[in-house]
Chains A and B, each alone.
Chain A
């Protein structure tokens, strides 16, 4: 069997048993990339030499008898807002062109320690702001299911690369849906863990109180495996949680019998495509067939989530992105004085969506507007979180669509930011509440993947994964393999 068809877990198993070497695995993926990347454009940077030498090192250590764990030698990619020592980290922004961090993000370091092989850095909407990759400062990534459609965003390259079999798995980041929504559009599994579950150290900040590193994988078992490698408290991130990390891969089995699922009606109402609604209902019915009990419920403050998010996230972004001034790194623009250095560098370096959000956020934090906008948004955020926590008194999990639509055509929403923001309407409330959620494939609508979102209690990724695994194993219709030949 072609190596790139194996899941990370399967490939890891073959590597452990010595049926294949890390160098062979890397070569298989480099070959695959050579075939499809020109069409998918998932990567901003590739590092074939670095990957090859990492593979050699893994093979040598294995040959020396070292026990290297289930992911050693498995090729992967990182979203280009995760810092990689000595490798470019651009956030798909012109303003960070040429920037090579002197340090690894904690997740980068953990994956290196696990022996995974980094093939490259993937494309995103600039600074993770967007839902289609069309805000990338360099080029848009294509959806492997239909090259004329967007892959979702902002973790576009990571989702597309996994779907197009350019890597075995990838990491992304999720602020308002940036892992889950592209996972849904590309027909892969995308997990955003509980806020604080994964260290943010080295994840270039967009909105600090929402950002969380997440996984993009072929299936749920891979998700559990990668999650286990990256979760856990980090002394370098004061917001990372001390909560014990369960053995996720060992907790997949067990099924959904006895679980109660809430189906919030606000997520299946207006704006949800019929094809998406149908598939989501079918998936819920499948979970019921497997033994779960499902019940309609309500999260009454859902309608305020998007506007709340678009106050809090830009406010934090306006501060987080203030450091890009061209003085210490990045490219300074031509200038006559300090003020024009700031102005010109930032005007030339940032794209229109980033500039829009910086201005929105600056406004929301300004004297005289702070109470009416930012402070009120914080209060509504609390109400939204309370909605969820109240629901979790009754339900073990909540189930919704990941996105109201399937992947939309490139260019369709670029002129209307509000339309673009709606792509995250189902994922944003979960981010505001800081909860864990997975998006997994739930069949096709018009030949394009539909994503089902399963939301769990704080730090209860294990139950989320157990339900996702049960559905994936028990309802085969949900899993349609990605197209054989991308764009062929």
Chain B
């Protein structure tokens, strides 16, 4: 039988505010355990929450960027459950009246563009973290407790693991462009739970839903979904039932396993948070935030295609991260050829970032570095091959191209007299090849140019070497 895959994503993004959601403690990542805490986020007796206006503003900004309708009145609720990382034994969240509803994210699918509906977007506070010690004891770190968190829930409209990944990438790009979150999955500032079910193709009813947690990277989201789809398909094909449950992704084994179903029985006893008044969001405030929205990834992608003539794919890759897109724009502001810019960013730069496992924000490279390098190439000072070495040095040290060239002696040999001596040596050392060339075998010249390059460790200006060789070998 043919099965249809139905996937929905629940994404949590920590907001990049300076302070926490309901107190003045710093919301930054890191810090010695339990140093970024106060009576409020420790949940001591008698304390009260005071909402962080900036966090609300960030959530509105994200909601608008995701095409959601922002509520005119939104309310906080308490989600009650006992766990040591939750100091009040309830999380202040939003249940009945979320901050925003009904947005969408556009993704590209083989069948054409698709809009994935966002069901709701709401604000809540993060929990602390537990550190489990060998031997069974656990330690509690409450630095993260109370950090503003935004939950974004998609409708179950994604029909493949690839679509889920693309949706997540797009969502991440929007959150990054709007500057509301650091969106770092490895630091936990972006978290994703998925739910997935299979149903016979054409059926309107949803199959039993399985939730998968512990997905710490985009790759994990896709792999876990691929695994889960296959697991469920195998069950269904063997005429067995898919159990409605929560499963845990195990990165090492590449499989999911069921977690104890205790969690399933949770009744969170949501009720309106009596310590906070309903929050009124004026249309003026919303419009003010809307007017300050930056250019979003979708629009930027169009600009790269329509104005710079880049292929769709290149434009999508370059705009998937705001830093990369900003670098592209900065390069283009000082360099006229879009293709050169996109080739270098998507080629060498992406390769080095990947190889070093770093983020653009963590390397000293700027647009000025790249523009300087391309100009040296255009002037014939730097060959394409040497440029790669220069680029790597700039990427590593932050020195500009001219400095690297000077220090490495990497500039091209364009001096005719200097190069002529090398050419003479090569001609003398390869009588057979020279004879071939003279006998009309054009390809032989390529070999000789290669030898000149080798002798100069790649520094010879290839065009000059070519001309000098032809001059040397010209009959008579």
Mark the stretch among B99-107, B199-207, B269-277, B281-289 that contacts chain A: B269-277
Count of CB-CB pairs between chains A and B under 8 Å: 98
Chain B, Cβ-Cβ closest to A83:
B46
Contacts known (A208-B275, A342-B82); A323 close to B46, Cβ less than 8 A? no
* Contact yes or no, A102 B276, CB < 8 A: no
Which chain B positions have C-beta within 8 A of A329? 44
- The total of chain A residues at the interface (CB under 8 A) is 44
Q: How far is the CB of B50 from chain A (nearest CB, A)?
A: 5
Q: Does B78 touch A at the CB level, under 8 Å?
A: yes
Complex CA gap A322/B39 in Å reads: 16
* Contact yes or no, B276 A315, CB < 8 A: no
Contacts known (A239-B277, A319-B78, A322-B88); A203 close to B269, Cβ less than 8 A? no
Complex CA gap A102/B43 in Å reads: 12
Cβ < 8 Å to B, chain A residues 48-103: 81-83, 89, 91, 96, 99, 101-103
Chain B binding surface, main DSSP class: loop
Complex CA gap A370/B277 in Å reads: 21
Chain A, Cβ-Cβ closest to B276:
A238
Chain A, Cβ-Cβ closest to B22:
A238
Q: Does B87 touch A at the CB level, under 8 Å?
A: yes
Contacts known (A83-B45, A83-B46, A204-B46); A239 close to B275, Cβ less than 8 A? yes
- Candidates A239, A325, A366; contact of B267 at CB < 8 Å: A366
Complex CA gap A99/B45 in Å reads: 10
* Contact yes or no, A236 B48, CB < 8 A: yes
Q: Does B26 touch A at the CB level, under 8 Å?
A: no
Q: How far is the CB of B77 from chain A (nearest CB, A)?
A: 10
Cβ < 8 Å to A, chain B residues 129-177: 140
Complex CA gap A322/B47 in Å reads: 14
Which chain A positions have C-beta within 8 A of B50? 235-238
* Contact yes or no, B87 A328, CB < 8 A: yes
Q: Does B335 touch A at the CB level, under 8 Å?
A: no
* Contact yes or no, A238 B51, CB < 8 A: yes
Q: How far is the CB of B194 from chain A (nearest CB, A)?
A: 25
Which chain B positions have C-beta within 8 A of A205? 45-46, 275
Which chain A positions have C-beta within 8 A of B473? none
* Contact yes or no, A323 B88, CB < 8 A: yes
Q: How far is the CB of B459 from chain A (nearest CB, A)?
A: 67
Cβ < 8 Å to B, chain A residues 358-384: 362, 365-367, 370, 374
Chain B, Cβ-Cβ closest to A209:
B274
Q: Does B90 touch A at the CB level, under 8 Å?
A: yes
* Contact yes or no, A327 B275, CB < 8 A: no
* Contact yes or no, A322 B46, CB < 8 A: no
Which chain B positions have C-beta within 8 A of A248? none
Q: Does B49 touch A at the CB level, under 8 Å?
A: yes
Which chain B positions have C-beta within 8 A of A324? 45
* Contact yes or no, B39 A102, CB < 8 A: yes
- Candidates A81, A238, A315; contact of B48 at CB < 8 Å: A238
Q: How far is the CB of A155 from chain B (nearest CB, A)?
A: 16
Which chain A positions have C-beta within 8 A of B87? 323, 328
- Candidates A83, A204, A208, A322; contact of B274 at CB < 8 Å: A208
Cβ < 8 Å to B, chain A residues 154-213: 200-205, 207-209
* Contact yes or no, B45 A89, CB < 8 A: yes
Q: How far is the CB of B257 from chain A (nearest CB, A)?
A: 21
A interface residues, Cβ below 8 angstroms from B = 81-83, 89, 91, 96, 99, 101-103, 105, 200-205, 207-209, 235-239, 315-316, 318-319, 322-325, 327-329, 338, 342, 362, 365-367, 370, 374
Complex CA gap A83/B274 in Å reads: 20
Complex CA gap A81/B46 in Å reads: 8
Chain B, Cβ-Cβ closest to A375:
B271
Contacts known (A362-B269, A367-B267); A322 close to B45, Cβ less than 8 A? no
* Contact yes or no, B42 A316, CB < 8 A: no
Q: How far is the CB of A11 from chain B (nearest CB, A)?
A: 29
Complex CA gap A209/B84 in Å reads: 26
B interface residues, Cβ below 8 angstroms from A = 39, 42-51, 78, 80, 82, 84, 87-90, 140, 267, 269-271, 274-277
Complex CA gap A102/B49 in Å reads: 17
Which chain B positions have C-beta within 8 A of A319? 78, 80, 89-90, 269, 271
Complex CA gap A204/B78 in Å reads: 18
Chain B, Cβ-Cβ closest to A102:
B39
* Contact yes or no, A201 B90, CB < 8 A: no
- Candidates B45, B270, B276, B277; contact of A323 at CB < 8 Å: B45
Q: How far is the CB of A376 from chain B (nearest CB, A)?
A: 13
* Contact yes or no, A103 B48, CB < 8 A: no
Contacts known (A238-B50, A238-B275, A239-B275); A323 close to B89, Cβ less than 8 A? yes
From A235, A319, A327, A362, name the one whose CB has the most chain B CB atoms within 10 angstroms. A319
* Contact yes or no, B46 A203, CB < 8 A: yes
Q: How far is the CB of A308 from chain B (nearest CB, A)?
A: 15
Q: How far is the CB of B176 from chain A (nearest CB, A)?
A: 31
* Contact yes or no, B271 A105, CB < 8 A: no
Q: How far is the CB of B451 from chain A (nearest CB, A)?
A: 75
- Candidates A91, A207, A239; contact of B45 at CB < 8 Å: A91
Q: How far is the CB of B52 from chain A (nearest CB, A)?
A: 11
Complex CA gap A201/B23 in Å reads: 13
* Contact yes or no, A366 B84, CB < 8 A: no
Complex CA gap A89/B45 in Å reads: 9
**A-B pairs, 3 with minimum CB distance:** A322-B89, A208-B274, A209-B274
Which chain B positions have C-beta within 8 A of A81? 46
Which chain A positions have C-beta within 8 A of B276? 238-239
* Contact yes or no, B271 A328, CB < 8 A: no
Q: How far is the CB of B128 from chain A (nearest CB, A)?
A: 10
